[in-house]
């Protein structure tokens, strides 16, 4: 049973109901974040909202609290669509906790697990459904879920859903949601494809931008090592020894790379888990829980997890591979340095990727610190730039470790 405290909760100033405040007090959520201050009052009034905010800003409760209250008061149904299974699970957990005083019922609709059980849960008429696009549309097409019953629809991490190739699914979901009374969309960036969706399907919306696109945590230190591909594991070994008291999140470009690197890290004597598309939902859940509980100090992940990880106090993010989409750099490194704490992000950069670093610096508005070790390339930046751009130059470029041929 939940017990309220005498502590004054600042969420009351935003119009949040006393019932919800009871849950927030129990969770020790007393002071709303900037995104929550701006979104909650307008969402409570039923306005359509376009929110531009980075991960770790508190946007789940920004759209979640008004959804809970409006659904419980008006006997409607809420739908939250997210890009990954991990994020769906975490959003579901957050909403259940925040709506506990209301007796809120949520169900999660994701791929990789039994569809039969999900259909059974839908028949129990949950107040809020949290879903990934593919499985949701499957159930809609099978007439197991009726979008006409949805009164509030939130698209969370919209840019990420498009990156994952879900544009056709999102378009179909919006096309079939014409009876939805309130629509909210949240995204860290605002590419043209999302603007087109907004103009077509979310009319008369209020735009709320908390931090400019490309914003990373204030106390985040960005560091770069220029390195040959074959030397990355040795450099990672050195870094993991240096940060031996921190939880570390390592990103790779492919699922095969993640699997191999996790094995290499375990062979170094560290506890490590991996999360990528070849892992089952149960395996992903075990890895995330183990990482959060410090059973695994190191988690190796592909970008499928970059916005689905909500683990406190990650001390270091390592980009073993730079992301294919430069916007994902922001989402990756946003896992550390959260809530005003110090954070560290280290990126391994192959010589031909020099131009990508310049683009990242332009995106985040910060110069990345170039560091050196006995495993990194010691060439001057101008030489590295030539290495990456002079494709017809067959000269060899020398480093202290070895020769590299263009």
pLDDT for the residue numbered 45: 96
Residues linked to residue 403 through DSSP beta bridges, in sequence order: 398
Per-residue pLDDT tens for 191-208? 889 999 999 999 899 999
**Token couple for 382:** 């101008």
First to last CA, the chain: 67
Residues 241-255, mean pLDDT to the nearest whole number? 93
In the predicted model, is pLDDT for residue 259 greater than 90? Answer: yes
pLDDT for 324 equals 85
d(Cα 2, Cα 102) in Å, to the nearest integer?
11
Place of tokens 């470029």: 397
Strand partners, 109: 131
**Considering only 64-73, 205-214, 227-236, which range has the smallest mean pLDDT?**
205-214
Q: Is the pLDDT of residue 394 over 90?
A: no
For 44, phi then psi, to 5°, come to: -60, -30
Asked whether residue 68 carries a pLDDT value surpassing 70, the answer given is yes
Name the DSSP class of 80: E
pLDDT over threshold 50, residue 102: yes
Averaged pLDDT for residues 24-50: 94
pTM over 0.75: no
pLDDT at residue 401, as a whole number: 37
107 or 401, which is more confident? 107
Average pLDDT, the chain: 86
pLDDT band of 386, cuts 50, 70, 90: very low
97, 23 Cβ separation under 8 angstroms: yes
Q: Which two tokens stand for residue 323?
A: 């992301």
Does pLDDT of 190 surpass 60? yes
- Does residue 184 surpass a pLDDT of 70? yes
Domains of the chain: 10-209 (3.40.50.300), 220-405 (3.40.50.300)
- DSSP per residue, 348-404: EE-GGGHHHHHHHHHHHT-PPEEE--TTS----HHHHHHHHH-TT---EEE-SS-EE
Q: Which helix (H) or strand (E) holds 241?
A: helix 232-242
> pLDDT, tens digit, for every residue of 317-351?
999 999 888 778 888 888 887 666 778 999 999 98
Contact 148, 179 (CB under 8 A): yes
């Amino acid at each position: 049973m939940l017990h309220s405290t005498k502590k004054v909760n600042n969420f009351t100033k935003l119009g949040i109901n006393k019932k919800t405040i009871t849950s927030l007090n129990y969770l020790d959520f007393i002071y709303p974040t900037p995104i929550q201050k701006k979104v909650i009052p307008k969402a409570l009034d039923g306005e359509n909202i376009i929110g531009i905010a980075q991960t770790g800003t508190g946007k789940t409760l920004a759209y979640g609290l008004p959804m809970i209250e409006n659904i419980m008061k008006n006997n409607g149904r809420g739908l939250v669509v997210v890009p990954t299974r991990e994020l769906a699970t975490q959003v579901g957990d957050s909403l259940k906790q925040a709506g506990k005083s209301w007796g809120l019922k949520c169900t999660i609709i994701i791929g990789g697990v039994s569809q039969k059980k999900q259909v059974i849960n839908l028949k129990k008429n949950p107040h809020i459904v949290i879903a990934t696009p593919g499985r949701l549309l499957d159930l809609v097409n099978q007439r197991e879920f009726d979008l006409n019953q949805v009164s509030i629809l939130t698209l969370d991490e919209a840019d990420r859903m498009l990156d994952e190739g879900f544009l056709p699914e999102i378009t179909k979901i919006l096309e079939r949601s014409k009876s939805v009374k309130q629509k909210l969309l949240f995204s860290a960036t605002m590419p043209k494809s999302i603007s087109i969706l907004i103009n077509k399907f979310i009319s008369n919306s209020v735009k709320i931008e908390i931090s400019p696109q490309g914003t990373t945590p204030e106390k985040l230190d960005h560091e770069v090592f220029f390195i040959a591909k074959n030397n990355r594991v040795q450099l990672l070994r050195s870094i993991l020894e240096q940060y031996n008291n921190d939880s570390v999140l390592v990103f790779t470009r492919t699922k095969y790379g993640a699997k191999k690197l996790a094995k290499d890290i375990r062979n170094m004597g560290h506890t490590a888990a991996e999360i990528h598309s070849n892992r089952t939902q149960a395996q992903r859940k075990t890895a995330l829980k183990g990482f959060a509980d410090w059973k695994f100090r190191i988690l190796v992940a592909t970008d499928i997890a970059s916005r689905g990880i909500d683990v406190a106090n990650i001390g270091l993010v390592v980009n073993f591979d730079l992301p294919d989409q430069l916007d994902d750099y922001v989402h990756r490194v946003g896992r550390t340095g959260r809530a005003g704490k110090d954070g560290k992000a280290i990126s391994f950069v192959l010589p031909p990727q020099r131009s990508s670093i310049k683009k990242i610096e332009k995106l985040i508005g910060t110069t990345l610190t170039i560091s050196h070790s006995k495993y990194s390339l010691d060439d001057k930046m101008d030489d590295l730039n030539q290495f990456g751009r002079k494709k017809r130059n067959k000269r060899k470029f020398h480093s202290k470790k070895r020769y590299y041929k263009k």
